[in-house]
Each structure stands twice: as structure tokens, then as C-alpha cells.
């Protein structure tokens, strides 16, 4: 995956960009985890200050997928911490994108998974199990659907309706 470059993908897919099949998220995310480049099919979650569904999803086999979490942009608590980063690594997830916060940053940075989040906050989330899975979400200035593809590197994050040839 290291050979993939989001900038090159944008340059070589102008038609997909113009028709909306390839979109770039706004550059609002900070990078965590050992993987600077990651990609895979998207699984979406919509939660607010509650990470029960996040844990439930990361306990499943990731098979190279990317979990994209719409946490409502809340900066009041973390939705992903070191234990969940390790769980993602162990279960074969390629990456996690959080429209919200992470915690245990040093632990996440030791995990072989790519993580993008708005920032960090040491407070943990609630544990009520509220939220939705596999639903369209809107983060980073774009609509993201379950099953689309995410590509991330040091330049940014792209969302594609289909898998791109890399």
C-alpha cells in the first residue's frame, strides 16, 4: 500500500472527481497509528459520545476494511483508545477514521493500524450502546456510504464509490 498516493489518484482520476465518485475529505484530521497509508472498504457507524458500537464492530474480522465513525465532531470525550486500536490491529482492520477524539495516543501510535481523528481527549465515552451501523454519514465535507472505499496517506483522505486501481 505504500506506493499509493492520494495526490496521484486525484491527478489521474479527474473524471471521477468531477462526477462526485471520488471525493476528498476536508483536511481536519490528525494522524495516529503506525500506518501512514491505508485503504479499504468502508464500514460506517454513527454514534455520539458512546463507543459500545465501535468496540462491537472492531471485535469483528476487519478483513482490511476501514471503520469510519461519525461521532458528531464531539471533542468532549474519546471514542477510540489504545485497547480498541489493539483490537483493530488484531482483527485485521486497515484503519479507523473518527469524526471525534481518540485517547491513549502513545498506545494507538504503537498499533499497526492507521487512525485519523480530530484530536485527543483523555475522557472516556459513555457505554449505553446507542448509535447506528452501516448508515450514510456526513463528515469532512462529504457524504460517506457503507461499502465505498477509503484511501488515506500523508496528503489526505479520499472516498471513492468503487475500488481504485493502485
Which residue ranges make up the annotated binding site for substrate? 81-84, 103
Does residue 72 come out as left (phi exceeding 0), alpha (psi in the -120 to 50 range) or beta? left
- d(C-alpha 110, C-alpha 9), whole Å: 28
Query: Which among 106, 129, 97, 122 has a CA at the least distance from the CA of 30?
Result: 97
* Annotated binding residues for Mg(2+): 104
Q: Residue 151 contacts by C-beta under 8 Å, 6 or more apart in sequence?
A: 4, 6, 9, 39, 157, 158, 160, 164
- d(C-alpha 164, C-alpha 138), whole Å: 21
* Annotated binding residues: 81-84, 103-104
Is the dihedral angle over the CA atoms 38, 42, 46, 52 positive or is it negative? negative
- For the record, the C-alpha cell of 161 comes out as 464509490
165 φ, ψ to 5°? -80, 130
Amino acid at each position: 500500500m505504500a506506493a499509493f498516493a492520494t495526490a496521484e489518484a486525484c491527478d489521474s482520476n479527474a473524471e471521477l472527481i468531477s462526477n462526485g465518485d471520488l471525493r476528498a475529505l476536508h483536511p481536519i484530521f490528525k494522524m495516529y497509528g503506525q500506518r501512514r497509508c491505508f485503504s479499504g472498504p468502508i464500514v460506517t457507524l454513527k454514534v455520539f459520545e458512546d463507543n459500545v458500537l465501535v468496540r462491537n464492530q472492531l471485535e469483528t474480522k476487519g478483513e482490511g476494511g476501514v471503520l469510519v465513525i461519525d461521532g458528531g465532531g464531539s471533542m468532549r470525550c474519546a471514542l477510540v483508545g489504545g485497547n480498541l486500536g489493539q483490537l483493530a490491529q488484531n482483527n485485521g482492520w486497515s484503519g479507523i477514521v473518527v469524526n471525534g477524539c481518540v485517547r491513549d495516543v502513545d498506545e494507538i501510535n504503537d498499533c499497526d493500524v492507521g487512525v485519523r481523528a480530530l484530536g485527543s481527549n483523555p475522557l472516556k465515552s459513555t457505554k449505553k450502546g446507542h448509535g447506528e451501523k452501516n448508515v450514510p454519514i456526513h463528515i469532512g465535507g462529504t457524504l460517506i456510504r457503507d461499502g465505498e472505499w477509503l484511501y488515506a496517506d500523508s496528503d489526505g483522505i479520499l472516498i471513492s464509490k468503487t475500488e481504485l486501481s493502485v
